[in-house]
Structure 1
């Protein structure tokens, strides 16, 4: 097969005419336009930000501009943006990305975020920053789109992972970067394998349970910056000045340090006294777990589930291979136990005001039980959990905002939701990780909140939940020693009694 190729020769006649006349060779008007365009694109100095001059849809706060300036001028584009929840880390990352694109230092960029935040990132970059970012849907866009957005789960799966790993990215942005805290996970290994010149890690909770988690995040940015993990941990434990090193790669803005007029955050810990039936049931479960020599993790799980609801513990017990006699005794006590004192405390809080309430539980069975329990008292509610598709999650959100007074969420509701229309929150179940409490409260206590936020932390007395409260206080102390002060996530107990620790 032959292809007939023809060349355009119309230019020859005009060119020969100009040769004969000795010009003119160009249009002075076009030259002036080209010169003006070059001047507009010229960045005369590396200091100072040019991006704000090109943004007409937003007026960033001074602390956001200062964060972007520090990352560009002092941190060489490698930083952890660790502002408290709701202060606009996405705006800061957008400013930094825009600045580098204007300066011609970034063309190819990749943004990895939780699936629930991918569309939000797309809207922010396209509408606010005029950055043509493309969301990865079905057909791979990695090689065609200069700025691509995807969930980490999508990016690490074949065939996407091989394509991404072959690309030299100028800038990598990872939202909710605390998910990389364990360096043994596939997520962390995948991110470390990516080729990147600049890198931004966004997380309000860079340390959650152990100081090593922060070491792993910083190592993604700057391998070797903190030495070996053992050296870093030893330096921290001996009282060495680790904050100075950390703050050279991390910026954390706090609410009380910004010019924004934030509403207050009122947090109360309420210790719930169990009924006699509930106490006997809890004791029976502890005895069964000990006699069956269950592993520590399984014992802890059962105790936490029963402190939440007997429904949650029942489902787990059914799947365990336990002595029939002891198991049947526990099931009989479950049938005889007609109360849930924590649910009653939740009901009392909900009925105090005719205002919306966001409730967090750790277990799906408890979520379903609480929906049923509240309905028995004439209070409708909607669930929110990770198994829902995007459309159903949006529908639950619309119902909660418009019609339904209570939303009961599992941990899937702790990230990515903007619920400024609600100002009351109940942590029905407490997590071991204090930063998950901060993430939950941050759904309400953020830009746009006009009322003081009320937070109620429930804990069943003389159960494992008393231990959880004590552990949370210890971990908050560790966080503040390394990162700095944190807003209130635990409050004073409503009881004046000395706290009793559970089995």
Structure 2
């Protein structure tokens, strides 16, 4: 019996091209590959990478395509390479793995095991974006990847004030490699060396030399310097250095300062095409609700970059709290049902009598925060689902029973337990025991029920704030349930806020930055109110009245 073919797949010399799909197959393809434009009728193109080969081969199991034999072999070889690569890298992190000897290091200058692991990953894959915490020796790791001499000479690109430090404090102190600091933007005859140390400010003058393949490897220290991409001279030059180097290494603990587009350019410097084209990345990963392209789900993007073995990050156990403010979707239809009443209350807050203002302020506060919680409840649940499916136990903090009900419905398959103001002491004890014992990975906790609760830190390091409180001290209390003695991992506190309702004002008052990587850029930074407590409800009322005027 002949196998039905659903289209054609071929390699055009630089990428995979799929064409002639039946409409229902095209719909399925777009659902499985978010980078494929929803409006496109084909042909559909895909980067030529081993991870894409694996995904395409998987798709072809369900929807066979017409292919030339050489293309079929190419696809199979790419898929096999991805599987082999994954297995080889995973084998590095098993307990009985033994690192090779430190060739090229001076006597007494041994790498730590975690540094040797990263070195071996680089040698297996020829690229790595190393995001280890500050102080974990990323510089030594990068040098360790080069001391075997197989990919020399190498270009080391650093911030201008770090050139001498790299040479004196690391290259000369740790290794037997020869190094030379590039002194100008104008090319000159280079002395013989293993490492050529550039500044970001002078690499643009050396693109012709890089284009000739002079440097077999390139290391970008503080690679976030390239976050603006080829719009700058250094970004354009980095494209040339990267394209002509076999090994590419990026070092930083702070890959993103503000917006999602930055992560695309950082990744592009290490693995061009890993996130598709800029248009692919923008469409698949970003939203533009704030006028800037921000990553919709940083956790999902980070997971993906780890899945393709591009990113490696190790954190110092017991370090500062990793604080991540992340914007989620806001359902305007949910808000619409209560908007008229909230605007009426807002008017009373602004212009009513003294007693009326007080009562209206309390009611507006309660209603605005409840409606905000309800309007983002499903988006919060979707984000928490990602963490749970990745195997992370989660402490989910909220305030309103109606919001808990939605979370419970959306995440019911994870058997959540409640620790809120309405449970009896015995019920709370059972919920706590179930969470600590591993009977469930999800505990929903009231923002103001956490004080004095102990033991959760032995099970969990992720707390998600699905609703926000005006007081940073309330958040600190909840975080303190995990960030306390007995916690072996860095605690990650994720604040899921929406661009609607009361959240924008609360976020601004709490001092939560709009950065896409708050916990990496500024770990452990205290959350500080930026306006007085007495003005918060008036500011909230003004926000709703402004919305009424706009309507």
Asked if TM exceeds 0.5, the reply is no
Q: Which has the larger radius of gyration?
A: 1
TM range (shorter): 0.3 to 0.5
